[in-house]
Amino acid sequence: FLPTSVHNESFPKSLLPEQYFPAVQLDMDRNAVYSSHEMPSSMDLTVENGLDPSHFPYAHHAVISKRSDGGPIPMKTVTFNFTHFDVAANYSRNGITRERLYCFQRPFLVYTQEKKEGNWKPASNFFVVPVHEGRCRVITSVEKLSKSWFPVWLRHMFVTRLLVGDYILHDTERERQSSRSYYQPTEADGSAKAFKRWFTKYGMANSPPHTFRSATLQNLKPLTRREYEDQWLLHTYACSTCRKVLQRARIGRVVAGLGGVLLASMLKKHQPVWATLICASGLLASWVANKLVTFHEGSIRPSDASDRDWSMYQ
């Protein structure tokens, strides 16, 4: 950890991470796999968003929820002390009513628990680490994706699809820090308002600049949509697994396309049906490989970026 003088937080040196954060021990017990993704928003707003399930039907429509799930969400603050902030929420997700705890453990752990068969069971952990004002790093394990048979790079792709709906926080943060009033009118904003009170009361709002505190407007550089959705900068450049997939996909899109066409040309006279199938398969494999390349490093063509996230069209 960095010295306390840098970020105004301190940690017991006698404790291991899994002792200080019990959620980490649970992850170790289930052999969870973590992935790291940067977010174009500050740490405090990203945490606030993670504690608020009301945004799921809109920001994550067709990913983990759907718009018809939107509605009032009764919330209750159950823990409010120096190290922990927890809220309980009952809400609908994909038509199923869920009872969950959304928890924050000082200084940067967001985790959730869901009530199943009368017992609270861990769901997801998100370490939200500040990088600088307007940017943070999310290190996460998702329980449903922590399966030994599930390829690591596919886990990272699924987490990216989850987080991409929250990139709008970049614009939200600039709006919040502007001179215009920021209005939270609904019952579902209860967790966000309570977290703001906790954040102020227990001193994290007074952290040094570029750490845990809220950003100032002058330090929030406006980004274009292409810039704040740049997957190479947000994830791939720091992930050895995804970089390997990217290299193989680059080779695969050329080999599959050319190989399919060449084999088809050799067979077209004597076996036209097989030639057509091989050519189509090669082009399809090349198209899939090209999609993987674009996903991991973005596209140099502005026209490849849709106006809104794909889930908005569902």
CATH fold for the domain made of 4-225 = Naphthalene 1,2-dioxygenase Alpha Subunit; Chain A, domain 1 (3.90.380)
> What is the mean pLDDT of the segment spanning 135-144?
82
Transcribe 170-196 into DSSP letters: HHHHHHHHSSS-----SGGGHHHHHHH
Condensed to tens digits (0 to 9), the pLDDT of residues 9-43 reads 777 777 888 888 888 888 888 777 788 899 999 99
Residue whose C-alpha is closest to residue 64's, from 124, 139, 106: 124
Decide the pairing of beta strands 84-93 and 109-116. unpaired
Among the ranges given (210-214, 244-248, 295-299), the one the predictor scored with the smallest mean pLDDT: 295-299
Q: What is the pTM of this model?
A: 0.82
Would you state the pLDDT for residue 128?
A: 93
Burial (CB < 10 A; 0-12, 13-18, 19+), residue 134, is: buried
Domain boundaries, the chain: 4-225, 241-297
User: Closest Cα partner for 38 from 153, 136, 109, 108?
Assistant: 136
Residues 6+ apart with CB under 8 A from 295: 157, 160, 231
